[in-house]
Structure formats: C-alpha cells, structure tokens
C-alpha cells in the first residue's frame, strides 16, 4: 500500500479517536467539584459576575449543547476564548506550539546521536570497561530528576563555563537552537538512557544471527557488517521505545520549559491552570493528545523506512 494512502486511511481511522479525546477533555473539567465560574472568580465574584461568566463560557447551556459548541470551536480553530488572555485560544496555542515542537525534535535528534554510537560500542565490547561505563552513566542520568539535571547543566555550562544561555528562546533560528541545547540535552539524556539499553540488547542478539556470519564470510569489513546489516535489523524495538518516550515527552515538557523559560505549550499549561483558564486548558489537552497520535503515526512510518518487509495495512 502506498504511504500516502496509508496515511490517509490512518487519519480517517483517527477521527473516532479524536472525537473521544475531545469528549474526555470536555468532561474532565465538568466533573471536577465546584462551579468553574465560582472557582475562576474566587471569593470576590458576585452572583451577577458568576452568572455573566457562566454565560460567557456557555456553562448555562445544556451539557450536550456545550459539547457541540466546543466541537464547533475546535472545527473553526478558535477553541473558544481564553479568560486570561482575552483572545481566541487557537492562535495562542499555535504561537506556543513551535517552541515545544522544536524542543522535542531537537532533543530526539540529540538522543539518536547519543544512542547509536554508544549502543553499538557497548554491544560490540560487551562486558568491557566501556560497556560498564556507558551503562553506569545512563543509569545515573536516568535516576536524576529532570529539574535537578537541568540545574546542574545550567551551573556547569551557563555559569561556571558560560557557553549556553541560562534561559530564554531567542529571536533568530540560530539563537533559538543555541538556547535549546541545554533543555534538549536534559530530555535527550533521559531518552537515550532507555534507547541505549534497548538498542544494545537488540544488537547483541543480531550479532549472533546466521546472516551476519554470512556477511563476514564474504569478506565484508566489520564496520560494514555493523552498519549495513546489524544496525538496521536492530532498530525496530528501539524505534518503539523512542516513539513511546517521545509521546511522553510531548506532555512532559512542563518542567523543562518552566525551568529554562521556554514559551512553549508546557509553560502555557502551567499558567493556564494557575489562572483557571478553562478554555485554554481544554484546548491544550486536545492539542497534546493530537500530537501524541501524530507521533504514533510517524513511528509506524519509521518502521517501514527501516525495514521494507513491514507491510502497511
């Protein structure tokens, strides 16, 4: 099946999933105890103010009508009007989406760059000092909380050795990449701690396969055998781990974005929850869910890119 048709079929199949996501995001804020308008306004809100806010949010409508209005807002891309920002939620999310996308993309690339050579080295030299050192390093990195690791990197590479900025996002592309190095490295180390172990185990298993011995008997160099035959056949499980972890990272950038002052979706979610901005929280919940679904689709396509024997169906 051509990739374009497969992607189209998957997107059509995702329509019920997306409807279910919108329903969950809609109901979550309505099953919470207390009246949303009262919680937003606090003790200073009068009865008239609460009634006005309920009308503004559509909370005075029947539940089914509220949901239809919510779907209409999603279809138009507005997601309703933000209480804190006094503007449509959709454009605000779109503006904050790209810092998060760049952060996740950059950290994923860094994780792959760390994973492939270190996993191959650990597998080829299994049981050596290099293998033990690589495993120990990533065990330590994985055991550290992300905020603590981020603080250590800031102290080391921003204050003691002022190579990277402490926080911010920058204006030009190069400035943004410069600002994203440290936060991406924090995420990449946590990701690589999982993918290195996965790829190392797969490479060790593939090294004992018959076709690897055949390739060596034909006179191919060890490096050629390793990169052409062993690595490609070892990547399937690692792609799964990377896809699952990247899906988690999408929703887990809150700490990193807050720590490094990156104006992404995570920091927007924190400020929206603090401000009890219900339309914004709903819109962000749907956005995070859609991004996770798209990452799963990209993971499936990566299987085919690595192993053409995988059938798209």
User: pLDDT by residue (tens digit) across 225-234?
Assistant: 777 777 777 8
Using N-to-C axis directions, what is the helix angle for 146-154 and 173-207, rounded to 10°?
Answer: 120
pLDDT digits (tens, 9 = 90+) for 268-294: 888 887 777 778 888 888 888 888 888
Q: Nearest-CA neighbor of 123 among 214, 198, 219? A: 198
CA atoms within 13 A on the CB side of 228: 10
What is the 3 state secondary structure string of 113-141? Answer: HHHHHHHHHHHHCCCCHHHHHHHHHHHHH
pLDDT exceeds cutoff 60 at 1: no
Per-residue confidence (pLDDT) for residue 110, from 0 to 100: 92
Give the model's pLDDT for residue 109: 92
Per-residue pLDDT, 32: 65
Q: Which domains does the chain have, with CATH numbers?
A: 3-89 (no CATH), 90-306 (1.10.3720.10)
On whether the CB atoms of residues 250 and 291 are closer than 8 A, the answer is yes
pLDDT at residue number 113? 92
Rounded distance, CA 142 to CA 112, Å? 16
Question: Which pLDDT score, from 0 to 100, does residue 209 have?
Answer: 75
What is the rounded average pLDDT of the residues 230-244? 81
**In whole angstroms, what separates CA 143 from the centre of its chain?**
20
Angstrom distance (rounded) from CA 149 to CA 143: 10
How far apart are the C-alpha atoms of 187 and 106, rounded to whole Å?
Answer: 9
Length of the chain: 313
Cβ(226)–Cβ(124) below 8 Å: yes
- What mean pLDDT do residues 42-51 have? 71
Q: How far apart are CA 167 and CA 180, in angstroms?
A: 9
Q: Residue 88 — φ and ψ, nearest 5°?
A: -65, 140
Which run of H or of E encompasses 144?
A: none
Tell me how far apart the alpha carbons of residues 270 and 1 are, in angstroms, rounded to a whole number. Answer: 43
Q: Which of 41, 1, 14 is nearest to 278 (CA)?
A: 41
Mean pLDDT score, 9-21: 80
List the single range of 14-18, 30-34, 138-142, 221-225 with lowest mean pLDDT. 30-34
The pair phi, psi for residue 2, each rounded to 5°, is: -60, 145
Find, among 98, 99, 83, the residue nearest to 36 by Cα. 83
Nearest to 240 by CA among 202, 190, 206, 207: 202
Least confident of 4-8, 141-145, 147-151: 4-8
């Amino acid at each position: 099946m051509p990739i374009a048709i497969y992607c189209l079929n998957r997107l059509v199949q995702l329509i019920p999933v997306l409807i279910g996501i919108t329903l969950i995001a809609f109901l979550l804020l309505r099953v919470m105890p207390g009246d949303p308008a009262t919680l937003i306004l606090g003790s200073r809100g009068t009865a008239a103010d609460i009634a006005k806010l309920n009308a503004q949010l559509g909370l005075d409508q029947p539940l089914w009508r509220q949901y239809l209005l919510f779907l209409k807002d999603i279809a138009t891309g507005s997601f309703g009007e933000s209480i804190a920002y006094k503007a449509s939620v959709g454009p605000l999310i779109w503006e904050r989406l790209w810092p998060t996308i760049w952060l996740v993309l950059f950290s994923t690339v860094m994780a792959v760059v760390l994973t492939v050579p270190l996993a191959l080295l650990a597998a080829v030299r299994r049981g050596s000092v290099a293998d033990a050192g690589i495993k120990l390093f990533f065990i330590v990195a994985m055991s550290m909380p992300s905020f603590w690791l981020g603080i250590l990197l800031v102290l080391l590479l921003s204050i003691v050795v002022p190579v990277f900025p402490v926080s911010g996002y920058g204006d030009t592309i190069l400035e943004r990449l410069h600002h994203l190095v440290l936060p991406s490295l924090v995420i990449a180390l946590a990701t690589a701690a999982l993918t290195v172990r996965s790829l190392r185990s797969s490479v060790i298993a593939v090294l004992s396969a018959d076709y690897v011995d055949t390739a060596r008997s034909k006179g191919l160099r060890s490096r050629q055998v390793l990169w052409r035959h062993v690595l490609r056949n070892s990547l399937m499980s690692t792609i799964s781990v990377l896809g699952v972890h990247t899906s988690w990272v999408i929703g887990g950038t809150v700490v990193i974005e807050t720590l490094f002052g990156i104006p992404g979706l995570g920091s927007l979610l924190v400020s929206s929850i603090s401000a009890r901005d219900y339309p914004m929280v709903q819109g962000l919940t749907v956005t995070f869910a859609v991004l996770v679904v798209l990452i799963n689709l990209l993971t499936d396509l990566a299987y085919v890119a690595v192993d053409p024997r995988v059938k798209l169906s």
